[in-house]
Amino acid sequence: MLVSLIKQNVINLSAYKVNDFECKAKLDANESPFGFDISPEALNLVKTNKYPDPEARELRAILSKMWDVPPENILHGNGSDELIYYCIMATGGPVLYPTPTFVMYSIIAKSLSEATLPIALNEDFELDTDAIIKTIHKKNPRIIFISSPNNPTGNAFAVENIHRIIMESKGLVVVDEAYQSFSDKPSFVSYIGNYDNLVVMKTLSKIGFAALRLGFVIGREDIIKEINKLRLPYNVNSLSQTIAVDLLSKKQSELSEDIQTIISERYRLMERLNEFNALRVYPSDSNFFLIKPLRMKGVELYSKLLESGVAVKSFGAAVPALNDCLRVTVGTPEENTFFLNCIEKILNTKRTT
Ligand code: PMP
């Protein structure tokens, strides 16, 4: 096939890169360290010759109870990545997002040839609400993505800043709550009735179901109905639907325990890492956090960790605001202790306390 047939906006894109390391502690992809066994009874319910339920009714019914919204307000996707596509396709651009943030907002906007409006976060990684509102008034973005807690910075944004942006925007505001389970800040799902331009995106990927690819948009019925017109038929397969229904109906207490363990391990990790003078540790409301070595380059620490058997995420020069930062996902208690021991050996510094 002639590459010249490919549209220029696609040629200009870079593919989403995923590292596939074999290592002792894989702390680079914001996955949950805790998975679930799949019951044979659930597997037996899957009919391989039949299409899945296109409306994912059972799954949406369970989630409707979990999130306290009617099923009509929930749209299912093959991961929330797919729903980012649908949202941007539905509204068109310009697409506004703070930066640095989850890269798929810009990759998908560009793949759909939509204009992007990246607005830099403040130095403390909070939303620059004044700059965002100025751009709203000047450029009238048709859709705004706010990941809170934000990937890759880890912090949840001030709730009042998000409210201001929703109120000032004439476009759709997507509050992406991929990491909300790990935060003290309340979900925006309860505000869906208050704003006609708000939808909330959720995923099960970070709480132990990444393999199933299950993402959701929650919003007013009128908006959900329109976005649903773009959804490919049978976008969520039967295995994912059946396994998720089985696990979500039986394993709620394990799910909450796992989330609590991740949060307390995050506190333990960050407290220990804060004892190193040669390291800056950034605040987090997520299942990951940023660190920055102060006496070596970020890539050097990254390589040394990888040699020791720990994979973390490095941003390098691609994201100037994160120069020298590494993103560390909270692992199992054993993986976290292994990571701490590796850091101690690499930094070769005695703790100050
Ligand atoms: N939103 C944010 C903020 C994310 O970090 C991610 C995953 N890295 C996603 C959405 C996509 O999640 P999913 O696995 O549901 O496609």
Range of the domain at 142: 40-250
Cβ of 91 closer than 6 Å to ligand 1, yes or no, is: no
Residues 53 and 200 in one domain: yes
CA of 176 to the centre of ligand 1 (A): 8
251-284 tens-digit pLDDT: 999 999 999 999 999 999 999 999 999 999 999 9
Residues 12 and 109 in one domain: no
pLDDT surpasses 90 at 12: no
What does the alpha-carbon distance between residue 309 and residue 235 come to, in Å, rounded to a whole number? Answer: 37
* Domain annotation covers residue 353: no
The mean per-residue pLDDT over the stretch 327-334 comes to 98
233, 250, 267 - which closes a domain: 250
195, 219, 250 - which closes a domain: 250
What does the alpha-carbon distance between residue 353 and residue 107 come to, in Å, rounded to a whole number? Answer: 45
> Is the backbone of residue 348 left (phi > 0), alpha (psi -120 to 50) or beta?
left
Q: Which atom of ligand 1 is nearest to the CA of 147?
A: 3
Which residues in the chain belong to E strands, given as ranges?
25-26, 74-78, 95-99, 116-120, 143-147, 172-176, 198-203, 214-219, 279-281, 288-293, 310-311, 313-314, 326-329
CA of 142 to the centre of ligand 1 (A): 21
Q: How many CA atoms lie within 13 A of 321 on its CB side?
A: 16
Question: Given this model, what pLDDT does residue 1 score?
Answer: 63
Residues 167 and 237 in one domain: yes
Most ligand 1 atoms within 8 A of CB, residue of 151, 180, 284 to mutate? 151
Question: Given this model, what pLDDT does residue 239 score?
Answer: 96
Question: Which of these ranges, 87-91, 125-129, 345-349, has the smallest mean pLDDT?
Answer: 345-349
CATH value at residue 263: 3.90.1150.10
pLDDT grade, residue 316 (50/70/90)? confident
* Domain annotation covers residue 283: yes
* Domain annotation covers residue 178: yes
241-260 tens-digit pLDDT: 999 999 999 999 999 999 99
The mean per-residue pLDDT over the stretch 209-228 comes to 97
Domain count across the chain: 2
Question: Given this model, what pLDDT does residue 350 score?
Answer: 47
- What percent of the chain has a predicted confidence (pLDDT) above 90? 89
User: Which position has the higher pLDDT, 321 or 184?
Assistant: 184
Most ligand 1 atoms within 8 A of CB, residue of 80, 176, 287 to mutate? 80
Cβ of 149 closer than 6 Å to ligand 1, yes or no, is: no
pLDDT surpasses 50 at 58: yes
Residues 283 and 240 in one domain: no
Residues 184 and 286 in one domain: no
Most ligand 1 atoms within 8 A of CB, residue of 28, 81, 103 to mutate? 81
pLDDT grade, residue 353 (50/70/90)? very low
The mean per-residue pLDDT over the stretch 198-218 comes to 97
Residues 217 and 313 in one domain: no
Residues 20 and 114 in one domain: no
214, 234, 250 - which closes a domain: 250
pLDDT surpasses 90 at 348: no
Instruction: Read off the pTM.
Output: 0.95
Question: Given this model, what pLDDT does residue 20 score?
Answer: 75
pLDDT surpasses 80 at 287: yes
* Domain annotation covers residue 35: no
* Domain annotation covers residue 239: yes
Residues 86 and 56 in one domain: yes
Residues 335 and 230 in one domain: no
Residues 235 and 266 in one domain: no
CATH value at residue 107: 3.40.640.10
Cβ of 87 closer than 6 Å to ligand 1, yes or no, is: no
* Domain annotation covers residue 153: yes
Cβ of 181 closer than 6 Å to ligand 1, yes or no, is: no
117-169 tens-digit pLDDT: 999 999 999 999 999 999 999 999 999 999 999 999 999 999 999 999 999 99
Question: Which of these ranges, 41-45, 206-210, 215-219, has the smallest mean pLDDT?
Answer: 41-45
* Domain annotation covers residue 352: no
* Domain annotation covers residue 160: yes
Name beta bridge partners: 329. 288
